[in-house]
């Protein structure tokens, strides 16, 4: 698969509002689903009984399952962690569960994604260096156990580098994990409400220690400027809920930066949301119509906007891939970024925190 | 257009959750939109400016606009009616508006549907015979004014027979309206929470007085048994929100009667929702998957179920039309009804009342 690539997120075995056919039409070849959500509902037994996750959700492209580590620590309630594993209460019904590295791998083997992830401990941004160090050590021991537990040769098990915002811990984590020889490496624990410069700095500290011939996956990052700046730094795989979050407020990315379709400036605009876009929405509807659907909170609004947002991000990645082949990536990136007004950092961080604190979020 | 025909409802210029392409793929050739909703939001001026309603919602098939009479009396707040027109407050923002028969026609001419409806006064089920008689007389005077105000020769203006549950008033209404010579006639004011036998009785009292060579439209009726029993009585056109209501409870019609996809019996069913159905949902997904999406309240659930429900009703109408051509309608109807368990009448009536009392309903 040509990289860099962006994976739409389908936590609950559905990329919100859209069908597998629509994802394929836009050009996506790989998506992400989430072990935590699917373990709780409908349960892995049912997915297995129904022929695995690809068949369950009718997706015949490639698929990656996240281990659920991030969700257990950020979404579940009352998680308790020790070296054995992590005990948590479901955010849905409060039931108690214990996930060990071995169980995490078994669940992912039963679902049958093409790429699966190790169980990791993702510490919150505000944790002390001691806590982060402890979590990173545990992540390493779990990674080793995951590797041992993994039996399906047709699945690629990726390691996850942690280490918080310490360059030293990031170095140690990258070194330890690469010594275990995974077929691919993710960088976890970033884009959790820290500044962008800190995110980029941690990527810079990590990527050079990861093998050049194996895919590098930056988890949970998907804003256009972050993707461009991370591709520059050697990242191959991205995922994010940004294009598929069912944002009732109507926000979306454009080449100029963030816009909002609910804004009354769109009320009478006969042109599509983006006249240069070739998505179903922009080919068939005026911006005024999409604005109307948002104002009415019609469900078609979220679907039409999701199609547009996914097309925007897919087009961005397509252009990045082409510019790399043409050896013009740096000028493409600089051209894009010069016209792009990034979201205000304070606003972005406060929105991220608000989202991380949402109990019933189901999007990653 | 071959009849009988069922019109999906797109009150706010969108048939909930689905695109125009999907409606066409299922086989629909005509849909309904609502003057009341569109007058309040986005406003008829905007629709006119954007090229009319067909273009606004990207629907190139046939279209009917309801006059808004039913909504003004059932959905708007504090409506006051006199012979001039009806004054009401918007259910969205409380703003006050006066709709006259002349304005109602002008708005529908500006939107440009193929079939438009007269402004009528639809009295509640519980009204006294005196009140119903007064409302019916006013409906007749308004119908005449609508006819005079109507200027667009390319639009068909239908009259609406009212008269509550009085055979005498229904007769009078049918006679008066047919004397005005409309190109088609609707029967309004039924299926508002009365018993089915009363509905059928009122249809029987009305249809014989309507010309056989013009279409007869039974407004707001769409349950499978009601459609079959009304086709028997001479009805050609139906509309209903039943297949497109975004029912979070997961109800849907089958040949055997009403079912519910949230029921745990579907939890592990690998077969489609209806193994005999050829809709997108049934071709691509197991009932267990649709059940899962409903349990998670994923938006794709409502879309997949709407596609299935619309296909079910379209297939029913297709079979009815074919059986009429084959001269086997009576046996088709009896065969269908013998296997069909109608919804319990008391439950149906209480659900209808509950729905009529919902302020923020937007579906008709």
CA B343/CA B338 separation, integer angstroms: 14
- The verdict on a CB contact (< 8 Å) between A288 and B58 is no
Q: Touching check for A351 and chain B: CB below 8 Å?
A: no
From the candidates B53, B59, B296, which should be mutated to test the interface with A, based on the most A CB atoms within 10 A? B296
Are the Cβ atoms of A13 and B280 closer than 8 angstroms? Answer: no
For residues B322-343, give the mean pLDDT. Answer: 96
In terms of CA atoms, which chain B residue is nearest residue A92? B296
Closest Cα of chain B to A330: distance in Å? Answer: 39
Q: Using a CB-CB distance cutoff of 8 angstroms, which residues of chain A are in contact with residue B292?
A: 12-13, 41-42, 46
| Interface predicted TM-score (ipTM) | 0.96
CA separation for the pair B287, B270 (Å, rounded) = 6
Residues of B in contact with A56 (CB under 8 A): 286, 288-289
Pick from A41, A285, A288: CB nearest B46: A288
A41–B295 CB contact, under 8 Å: yes
Q: Which residues of B touch A286 (CB under 8 A)?
A: 50, 56
Of A16, A295, A303, which is closest to B41 when you measure between CB atoms? A295
Contact residues on chain A for B269, CB-CB shorter than 8 A:
none
- Residue A330 CB contacts under 8 Å (≥ 6 apart), including other chains: A232
Q: Which residues of A251-276 are buried (b: 16+ CB within 10 A; e: fewer)?
A: bbbbeeebbebbeeebebbeebbbee
- The whole-angstrom separation of Cα A350 and Cα A94 is 28
- Taking the Cβ of residue B51 and every Cβ of chain A, the question of whether any pair is shorter than 8 Å is answered with yes
Q: State the smallest CA–CA distance between residue B38 and chain A in angstroms.
A: 10
- Per-residue pLDDT, averaged over B297-323, amounts to 98
Instruction: Pick out chain A residues at pLDDT < 50.
Output: 364
Kindly state whether B289 is in contact with chain A, defined as any CB-CB distance less than 8 angstroms: yes
Nearest to B47 by CA among A292, A206, A263: A292
Nearest CA in chain A to B301: A17
**pTM of this prediction?**
0.96
Is the pLDDT at B362 greater than 80, yes or no? no
Q: Lowest mean pLDDT of B119-128, B171-180, B215-224, name the range.
A: B119-128
Q: Can you name the residues that pair with B312 across neighbouring β-strands? A: none
d(CA A334, CA A330): 6
CB A313, CB A224: distance < 8 Å? yes
Q: Is B39 on the interface with A (CB under 8 A)?
A: no
Asked if the C-beta of A20 comes within 8 angstroms of chain B's C-beta atoms, the answer is yes
**What CATH number matches the domain at A5-245, 3.30.470.20, 3.20.20.105, 1.20.1440.230, 3.30.450.40?**
3.20.20.105
Set of chain B residues whose Cβ sits within 8 Å of the Cβ of A10: none
Chain A contact for B111 (CB, 8 A cutoff)? no
Interchain CB distance below 8 Å, B268 and A293: no
Does residue B116 register a pLDDT over 90?
yes
Residue that has been written with the tokens 């609910």 in this structure: A262
Residue B85: pLDDT band (50, 70, 90) is: very high
Is the pLDDT reported for residue B36 higher than 80?
yes
**The predicted structure's pLDDT at residue B117:** 98
DSSP 8-state symbol, A9: B
Q: Is B227 helix (H, G, I), strand (E, B) or coil?
A: helix
Cα Rg of chain B, angstroms: 20
What burial letters (b/e) apply to B313-343, b meaning 16+ CB within 10 Å? bbbbbeebbebbeeeebeebbeebeeebeeb
All residues of chain B having their beta carbon less than 8 Å from the beta carbon of residue A19 are 280, 284, 300
Confidence of residue B339 (pLDDT cuts 50, 70, 90): very high
The CA distance from B243 to B73, in Å, is 23
Check if A230 contacts B (Cβ < 8 Å).
no
CA-CA distances (angstroms) from residue A10 to A189, B122, B298?
20, 46, 11
Q: How far is B146 from chain A (nearest CA, A)?
A: 29
Shortest distance, CA B292 to any CA of chain A (angstroms): 6
Searching chain B, which residue's CA lies closest to the CA of residue A291? B42
Nearest Cα neighbor of A194 from A104, A111, A125 is A125
User: pLDDT tens digits, residue range B180-228?
Assistant: 999 999 999 999 989 999 999 999 999 999 999 999 999 999 999 999 9
How confident is the model at residue B349, as a pLDDT?
84
Cis peptide before A62 (omega within 30 of 0): no
Neighbouring C-beta atoms of residue B233, cutoff 10 Å = 14
Q: CB-based contact (8 Å) between B14 and chain A? A: yes
Q: Looking at the predicted structure, is the pLDDT value of residue B233 above 60?
A: yes
Residues of A in contact with B285 (CB under 8 A): 58
Percent of chain B with pLDDT over 90: 87
- What's residue B229's pLDDT? 98
Nearest by CB: B292 against A19, A42, A289: A42
Pick from A50, A58, A296: CB nearest B12: A296
What is the per-residue pLDDT across B133-149, written as a single tens digit (0 to 9) for each?
A: 999 999 999 999 999 99
d(CA A50, CA B271): 10
From CA A133, how far away is CA A283, in angstroms rounded? Answer: 51
The pLDDT tens digits of the residues spanning A56-95 come to: 999 999 999 999 989 988 877 767 999 999 999 998 999 9
* Beta-carbon separation of B296 and A49 below 8 A: no
Which residues 6+ apart lie within 8 Å of B310 measured at CB? B8, B15, B18, B23, B26, B28, B243, B244, B279
Is residue A288 classed as helix, strand or coil in its secondary structure?
helix
**CA distance linking residue B136 with residue B163, whole number of Å:** 6
pLDDT at A271: 98
Chain A residue nearest residue B10, CA to CA: A298
Largest Cα separation within chain B, whole Å, is 60
List chain B domain ranges.
5-245, 251-347
């Amino acid at each position: 698969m040509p990289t860099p690539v962006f994976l739409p997120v389908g936590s609950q075995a559905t990329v919100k509002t859209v069908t597998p056919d629509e994802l394929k039409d836009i050009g996506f070849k790989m998506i992400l689903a989430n072990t935590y959500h699917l373990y709780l509902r409908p349960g892995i037994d049912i997915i297995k009984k129904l022929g695995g996750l690809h068949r369950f959700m009718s997706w015949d492209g490639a698929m990656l399952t996240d281990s659920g580590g991030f969700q257990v620590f950020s979404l579940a309630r009352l998680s308790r962690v020790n070296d054995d594993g992590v005990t948590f209460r479901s955010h849905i019904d409060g039931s108690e569960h214990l996930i060990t590295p071995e169980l995490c791998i078994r669940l992912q083997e039963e679902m049958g994604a093409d790429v699966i992830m190790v169980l990791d401990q993702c510490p919150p941004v505000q944790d002390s260096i001691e806590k982060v160090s402890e979590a990173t050590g545990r992540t390493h021991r779990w990674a080793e156990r995951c590797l041992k537990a993994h039996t399906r040769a047709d699945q690629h098990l990726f390691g996850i580098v942690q280490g918080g915002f310490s360059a030293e811990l990031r170095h140690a984590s990258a070194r330890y994990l690469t010594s275990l020889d995974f077929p691919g490496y993710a960088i976890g624990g970033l884009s959790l409400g820290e500044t962008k410069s800190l995110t980029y700095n941690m990527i810079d500290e990590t990527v050079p220690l990861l093998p050049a011939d194996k895919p590098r996956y930056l988890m949970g990052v998907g804003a256009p400027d972050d993707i461009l700046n991370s591709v520059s730094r050697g990242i191959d795989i991205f995922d994010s809920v940004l294009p598929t979050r069912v944002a009732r407020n109507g926000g979306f990315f454009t080449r100029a930066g963030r816009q909002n379709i609910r804004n009354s400036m769109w009320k009478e605009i006969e042109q599509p949301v983006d006249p240069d876009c070739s998505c179903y929405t922009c080919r068939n509807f005026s911006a005024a119509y999409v604005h109307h659907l948002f104002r009415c909170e019609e469900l078609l609004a979220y679907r039409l906007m999701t199609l547009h947002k996914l097309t925007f991000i897919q087009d961005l990645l397509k252009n990045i891939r082409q510019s790399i082949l043409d050896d013009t990536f740096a000028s493409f990136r600089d051209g894009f970024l010069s016209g792009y007004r990034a979201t205000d950092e304070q606003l972005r961080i406060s929105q991220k925190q608000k989202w991380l604190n949402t109990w019933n979020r189901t999007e990653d």
